[in-house]
Structure formats: C-alpha cells, structure tokens
Structure 1
Amino acid sequence: MHKPTQLYIISGLSGSGKTVALHTLEDAGFYCIDNLPISMLGHLGNYLQRLPAGTRRQFAVGVDARSQPEDLQHFGSTLDSLRVQELDPSIVFFTAQETTLIRRFSETRRRHPLSQNGISLAEAIRQEWGRLSVIQGEADLVIDTSTTNVHQLRDLVRKRLTESPPGVSILVQSFGYKHGIPVDADFVFDIRCLPNPHWEPGLRRQTGKDAEVIAYLQQSEDVRLMERQIRTFLEQWIPAFERENRSYLTVAIGCTGGQHRSVYLAEQLAAHFRSLRGEQVKLIHRELPCG
C-alpha cells in the first residue's frame, strides 16, 4: 500500500517567511511550487491522483495575493474540491506585525507585490491582508514570524511540517514577555509569579536547561505546583482539540526574559508529553540562541 499524498498549501503576507518555508520543505524532499494561481489547484489535484505507486508524495504549493480576486473568494470551494478528490491539504499561513514587515522591506529594498499606483507600503500590506483573509480563515496552522529570525523559522518549519507523525502536532514554546507574546499560540501560560533565578548572581548567565537552575527551581513548591496544574490542564483539553480534528496545537510558556523559568517548565512539559505521545511533541525556546 502506497503512502498517502501529503500536500501543504503555503500562504501569508509578503515578507512573513513563505519563501523560507518553501525552501525548507524543498530541502526536506518536498516537491515545491511557488505562486501557483488558486484556479490551478484543481488541476494539481487531478495530477496528484494519477501518481503511480512509489512516486514521491510530498508536495507544497505557495499561493499569495497575486491570485485573481475571484479565485481568492472561491478558495473554500477549491479546498472542498480537493477533498472530494481524496486529498486533504493542510493550510499553513504566515503572518507578521505591520511594523515588522515594513522594516523587512526597508532592509531588503524589495518592492511589495501590491505597491503600485503610488500607494504606500503600509497600505499595500493592509490591502494584501484584506485579500488573504479568506485563506487565513481556512488555515490549519498560523505562524507569526514577528520575533523570529531566518534560522529559527527554518527550525520551526522542519519541526512542525516535516518531522511530525500523523496526529495532532504539539509545539511547546518558551518565550519572554519583554519580547512580546506569541500571538499564534493556542494556550499561553504566564509564570512570571514564580521564583526568578535571574536575581541569583550565580544563575543569571545560565538558562533553564542548566543543572543549577533546574535544581533551584525544583526546590520551589510553587514551581512544582504550577507544573502539575498546567500538565493536568493540558492532559484534559488536548484530547478535546483532537476530537475537533485539529492538526496543530501550540502551548506557550512565558516568563520575563525567556531564559530561565519558561525554558525549564517548557522542557519539563515537553518531556512529559513526549512520554505519552512520542514525536508528535516538539520543543522550541524562542529567546535562546539555538531556538
């Protein structure tokens, strides 16, 4: 029996990381097509159905705001037609804050695809968001790259889109509130009330992955209680998401700087759920150099 076809439809705002995602998937062995008109997705579906056994069955297609407005408005019905063809594409939508996108375009001196007729870059971004809102509404996974560099994005794409077995993909992510809340998270837990190793001179330059910080946090009853209660909450509610056929779930753990408490607790939670769900569980530390 041949493997089922895996199809990602990659979309999102210009400058948010779509091209990086497609290149990463291509490096992982996917056959990638960028800027495919939405009207051509049905033809692609017909082609995929005719693939002989043993043929590579991992595909990713980039679609963006350059598609015809009527095609964008009928995106939902196009997806329905693919599902009728026994294909079940996953929609991944990339976004970022407007100020971040403006900075990226300014740094690269690239022209926004909708910046014509004398409109400003900011207005072009808003117009693009309006056009793509119908795709964002259908997305299985939304990834906000406002605080993500290229290396972190590649790592995130590999972990979420190329390494996960069937079933809900769970990402446990540590972050620092002073760098902004990850807006694409499904659950956000604020643990800034816990004892902070930052104020211990010998621990300040370490992270929540280091043995001395781990020992410091594990001796706190509040830390142990927080871990137990978050773990119990997730054990209760992750199955509810699965029953709704969710493919992706992001759990964000935040402390002030994203170096100690959130890293420690994210590590503990990821280890616990990996013992239950194996490679479905991924771990990322947003504020650490290695991600």
Structure 2
Amino acid sequence: MSTEQSEVTAVDSELLIITGMSGAGRTTAAHALEDHGWYVVENLPPQMLGTLTELVARMHGAIPKLAVVMDVRSKALFPQVRENLALLSAAGVNYRVLFLDASDDLLVRRFEMGRRPHPLQGPGRILDGIAAEREVLRELREAADIVLDTTPMNVHALATAITELFSETGTVVLRLNVMSFGFKYGLPSDANYVADMRFIPNPHWVPELRRHTGLEADVSDFVLAAEGVEEFISAYLRALEPVFEGYRRENKHYATLAVGCTGGKHRSVAISEELARRLRQLPNVTVQVSHRDLGRE
C-alpha cells in the first residue's frame, strides 16, 4: 500500500462511483449527472481514487457533487477497485456505487450496432468478452448500493432514471437562451425555434427612436404597445408549454429561442427581453438573453 493511498482524507462532497457492464449506459448516466451539476471524471484508474479525493478535500466544498466513472478498459488496474474503495471507507469517505447492467442480448446488439469490439473480447466473440467482464465485476455488483438494469431503457429513459435518483429536485431544469437577431445577417445556426417580429411597425422609421435600441424604454414601450404584440407573446408562451414538458420527458436541457427582426436592433431586442422576463416566472426554468446583432450598423 502506498503512502498516498493510506492518507486518503474524508471529503464533504457527495461521491458517486459509476461502473457496470460495457454498453449498459455509463456515458449516458455521466452526461445526465453533468446536467444536474455533478463534476464527472471518466475512466479513472482505481489507484487514483485516493488522490482525487485528496484534491477535492483541499478545495473545501468547491465540488459538492463528484461522480467517478470506472470501467474495465484498464483491465490490468480494475481488480484493485475493491481494495481502493476499502481505503476510502477506512478514511471515512462516504460514497455510493451505481452499477449499470443490461441483458447479454442487448449488450451484443449495442456492440454490433457500434461496430466496436468488447474491451475484453480478445480474439473471441462479443459474448466471450461480456462473460469475462461479468466475472471481473461480480463482486463489485454484489456490493453496489444501486444496481440499475438498463435493458428496457433508451437513452432518454435512462437519463430520466438518473435524474430521479440523483438530482436534488428530481425535475429537469430547462436552460433557455432567448436570442435576438437580424434577418438581414442570417438565421442563427443553433436556433431551436424562430419567431419573426417583422409584423410590428419598425421604430427605425420613427426619427426620435431610430438611434436607440430595444433595450431602452422608449423603443420597448413603442414595440410592446403595437397592435397584436400582446396577443402574439401570450400565444407564443402557451404554445411553448407542451414543448417544454416534452423536453423534460426527453431529458433535453437546453434550447435557443431566436427572435428576429430586420436588423436585430429594435423589435427583436424588445420582444426578447419581454419573453425572457415572462419565462423566468416559470418553475424549473433558467433564462439568459443574448442580442446577436445589436452592435451592428
């Protein structure tokens, strides 16, 4: 036992060890945890668990939720997992082990679809690699705090299961970017939804408003008071409600709502700000606003 391993320090962070069968969904689980604020370290050799917890301890709570993904790709190192977990326990480090499993048939299909060999397959068949991996992981599976069978799950169902198990709220938080833009400069390439504000009278043709922007009260008041604007905003937000619910069901966490006018200076800016204000009143939604073309002439 090395000195470094024997001096593991207890940490205040929540520590989750993610392991399991290759092809059972470790990467999907890791991404779902990242979406809920976990700091994820993938493919960590077991011998580095102690070093990692030491580093986290020195950060004094800067990483409150730490997830470590370990698999048998480093098969020469993996047999020491139980020994290194025992060192954590002896040092008073609280951790949980999540083991992801799936049926042999499903694992075979996933490897065949990906056209990649199993990491323990060698010159044999995929099933030979799966059998070898089950033997290597047998004791760890028996000692796991949570064993999750992903056989009946697609990636969305697995992400939902991880959300329910490990997020603080159990509810997917949507992160929305409301972006104003000018059509004459092109559509935003990352827009999920595009709204056209060119039905609103253009402040550009009002001399006292032309030099100002939709961030200023005079222009914003002019735009929001225009005929049909309130009806549009209310209807647009109602139309987005089932979309947001669908995003949560499918574990989609990010969306960009693009709002355009001719130059991206007046109408789209004012409407983006008002949409963002109202969206922030919804539960489990965070909103940021960006104005892509506001500085253009």
Q: TM-score, normalised by structure 2?
A: 0.51
Q: Is the 8 A contact 1:38 1:67 kept in 2?
A: no
| Deviations 1:73-121, CA, capped at 9 Å, x for gaps | 44333122112333211000000010111111112223322222x1110
Cα distance in 2 between the residues matched to 1:108 and 1:76: 30
The residue that corresponds to 1:171 in the other structure is none
Amino acid at match of 2:118: H
- Structure 2: runs of 5+ lacking an equivalent: 1-10, 171-297
Look up the SS of the partner of 2:73 in the other structure: coil
State the identity %: 34
The residue that corresponds to 2:35 in the other structure is 27
Q: How does 1:64-143 map to 2 (within 5 A)?
A: 64-69=71-76, 71-116=77-122, 118-143=123-148
How far apart are 1:45 and its partner, in Å? 1.8
Q: How does 1:119-268 map to 2 (within 5 A)?
A: 119-163=124-168
How far apart are 1:162 and its partner, in Å? 1.7
Picking from 16, 19, 37, the partner of 2:24 is 16
**Cα gap change, 1:73 to 1:108, in 2 (>3 Å):** closer
> Once superposed, what is the RMSD of the aligned Cα atoms?
1.9
Cα distance in 1 between the residues matched to 2:91 and 2:169: 24
Amino acid at match of 2:31: H
- Structure 1: runs of 5+ lacking an equivalent: 166-291
The residue that corresponds to 2:48 in the other structure is 40
Cα distance in 1 between the residues matched to 2:132 and 2:63: 37
Q: Is the 8 A contact 2:45 2:78 kept in 1?
A: no
How far apart are 1:24 and its partner, in Å? 0.7
Q: Is the 8 A contact 1:76 1:138 kept in 2?
A: no
Cα distance in 1 between the residues matched to 2:88 and 2:102: 28
How far apart are 1:50 and its partner, in Å? 1.4
**Cα gap change, 1:64 to 1:87, in 2 (>3 Å):** same
Q: Is the 8 A contact 2:47 2:80 kept in 1?
A: no
Q: TM-score, normalised by structure 1?
A: 0.52
Residue 5 (1) aligns with residue 13 (2): yes
Number of residues paired by the alignment? Answer: 160
Cα distance in 2 between the residues matched to 1:21 and 1:50: 27
